[in-house]
Amino acid sequence: MLHWFPTPYPDELLYSVLARYHVWSGNTSPKMTVEELFGKRTVRSVWDLPANLNMLLSQLGSYWGADQLINNHTMYPYYAAFLLPKQAKQVKKSMLNSKGSTIHTRIGVSASNVKVKINLWVCGGCIKEDMDTYGETYWRRVHQAPGVFVCPKHESVLEETVASVKSQNQHEFIVATPDVERTKIRLDGLSKEEIQLLLDISKETDSLLNNTRLQANDNAIRSKYMELLKQKGYASVNGMVKRDRLYQSFGAKFSDRSLELLQSPVKFQETDWLTMIFQKHRKSFHPLRHLLVMMYLETELDHLFGKKEYQPFGKGPWLCLNVACPNHRKPVVKDLTVTICYDTRKPVGTFRCDCGFVFSRRGPDQNKDDQYRVGTIKDYGPVWKMKLTELVNEGNPLTEIAKEMQADRATIKKYAAELELKVPWKLPKIEKKEVNEPLEDFEAQLNVRKNKWHELQKEYPEKSKTELRKMVPDVYAFLYRNDRDWLNTHSPVKKRIQSPYQRVDWEKRDKELLKQVKKVIRNWDENAEKPTKITVTSIGRKINELSLLQKKADKLPKTMEYIEKVSEGTVAFQKKRVEFTLEKLRKENEPILEWKIYKKAGLRPTVSNEVKRLITLRTTEYETVK
């Protein structure tokens, strides 16, 4: 057990704590430090999601807890928040035991297009404060997160140091120093909006790291996304995403330059991350992209993780806006029903006060003044009507009554007529409503309108349901409200017009498609991070014609013949991966070793002898040239 261990600073990486231990312990060898900390010399130094923590905890004693160490001093909260619950649990388990090699693959970091920072980053302001407060500085978690270019505390641009996250000595922990060589990140030419976006990303990343959040179930966040998409009109009631509007709106909110800087450019494709993040989450998406979606949908982390319900009209009770109510403009309304506007897909709140006043307004409320806004008054209620009666009986002029009751003159006249008040002005004719209308009368009215709807269809058999509706809107509205099923059953069916002349020239289509495929093959794997196997499926996806190639292959003989010719088998693709890896190693000036080729190319030792011979041959050639 260790007799001494540094106390971690706020937001300090565990990697940084271990680096400080190495310096203050006076050890000359990194392996000596690793053995003291973990009980063996083979543990590698990992800056973000370290493993073997149970070994470290056994050395530290009972003072330290696993959750405290993982949640407060590693990048686990950043990634775990958006993982499926089972994945998050497995990652934590791997960090505690010795299976650290699976962590980055499991959370999708290894395959992600959002790459981690190559070196450790710092903030000049933080370093100055650290030296004044602690007499030393340290590596902060938030500064190392992808997409964080600005310090959330000082709002200043970060600096990149020469300290690599992948040290040449895999057991070495590099300590942070105030005089570490560093370069300020250049953000020249960015607009105020783009700088603000980077600051927002920084602050939300800081919030992720300092408040451990986990999804309640596999698609909890995706469900919240769909709820917000529907409210904003970017998805139908049934959950179909309106991709055209979505991409147009997303592109208008975030500039291409910002998205490139945040490693999240979008393309209008089915395989694009912005399309797939709104589908059922079967794989991981980088936290940075979740933060972008969250900002686009104008929501908060607390709402996404269920800690804060979506409240488009704020938290109740709400204000009563009945001028005649003794509680006018006081928070006494506890009855609120939220529905979705059929046309705009925005939330509509219907507020009901005990005084009988019922009103609605379209939301969401954008500022404090919106709480005083009345959209539509659905029922004035008995208190308002009683006040109106008093004002009329006192002999007040119509204009003054309308002003005091905050209603127009026509409304005052209407309710004065309904209440049968004696007034000096002319009242409109009001049809008296029976309080308890007999069922027979209702059925009679319903049948009258049904007959009229039938007669209209006989008279205009060529007209559609929509055209008939415009001719008799009152009839349609009555039937829609009172017997919708009957209306749907006894209305014209939408006709789909199919032209007999719409024929596909498959020979021409085959030639055009062949040109597309050849063009794609010429540029295959150009600027790619890793090679892709050439198959019918991969080609179809690249040209956005997968369905056509799968379902109409018999009508595309030239295209399919060419695809069959260029398609790669398992051995051929493995060989390509070997050559691709070799080229990458040469460019990076790394040694050409057999074990490294197998690892970088993702090949198992059980590959075919043909592939093994190629690896041995290429390694020998390199040794000869060297």
| 153-163 mean pLDDT | 96
Amino acid identity, position 306: G
Q: Give the strand order in the sheet containing 182-184.
A: 119-122, 159-164, 182-184
Tens of pLDDT, residues 131-152: 999 999 999 999 999 999 999 9
Q: How confident is the model at residue 625 (pLDDT cuts 50, 70, 90)?
A: low
pTM: 0.55
Q: What is the pLDDT of residue 304?
A: 87
Q: How confident is the model at residue 368 (pLDDT cuts 50, 70, 90)?
A: confident
- Cβ(268)–Cβ(243) under 8 Å? yes
| 300-306 mean pLDDT | 85
More confident residue, 247 or 3: 247
Secondary structure letter of residue 358 according to DSSP: E
DSSP string, 30-71: HHHHHHHHHSSS-PPP-SSS---HHHHHHHH-TTS-HHHHHH
| 250-254 mean pLDDT | 92
Q: How confident is the model at residue 411 (pLDDT cuts 50, 70, 90)?
A: very high
d(CA 200, CA 204): 6
Q: What is the pLDDT of residue 170?
A: 86
Q: How confident is the model at residue 479 (pLDDT cuts 50, 70, 90)?
A: confident
Q: Is the pLDDT of residue 185 over 60?
A: yes
For 22, 59, 205, 229, the CA distances from 274, given in Å and listed in that order, are 44, 45, 20, 13
Q: In the chain, where are the structural domains located? A: 14-192, 217-304, 318-418, 439-489, 571-625
Max mean pLDDT among 39-43, 168-172, 591-595 falls in 39-43
| 292-313 mean pLDDT | 83
Per DSSP, the three-state class of 376 is strand
Phi, psi of 61 (to 5 degrees): 95, -175
Helices (H), 439-569: 439-459, 465-471, 473-482, 484-489, 506-522, 536-542, 546-551, 557-566
Q: How confident is the model at residue 377 (pLDDT cuts 50, 70, 90)?
A: very high
Q: How confident is the model at residue 435 (pLDDT cuts 50, 70, 90)?
A: very low
Q: Is the pLDDT of residue 438 over 60?
A: no
Q: What is the pLDDT of residue 218?
A: 82
Q: Is the pLDDT of residue 375 over 80?
A: yes
Per DSSP, the three-state class of 180 is coil
Tens of pLDDT, residues 510-550: 999 999 999 988 888 887 788 889 998 899 888 888 888 88
Tens of pLDDT, residues 111-123: 889 999 999 999 9
| 571-587 mean pLDDT | 87
Q: Is the pLDDT of residue 499 over 50?
A: no
Q: How confident is the model at residue 434 (pLDDT cuts 50, 70, 90)?
A: very low
| 295-304 mean pLDDT | 89
Q: What is the pLDDT of residue 495?
A: 57
Q: How confident is the model at residue 308 (pLDDT cuts 50, 70, 90)?
A: low
d(CA 173, CA 45): 6
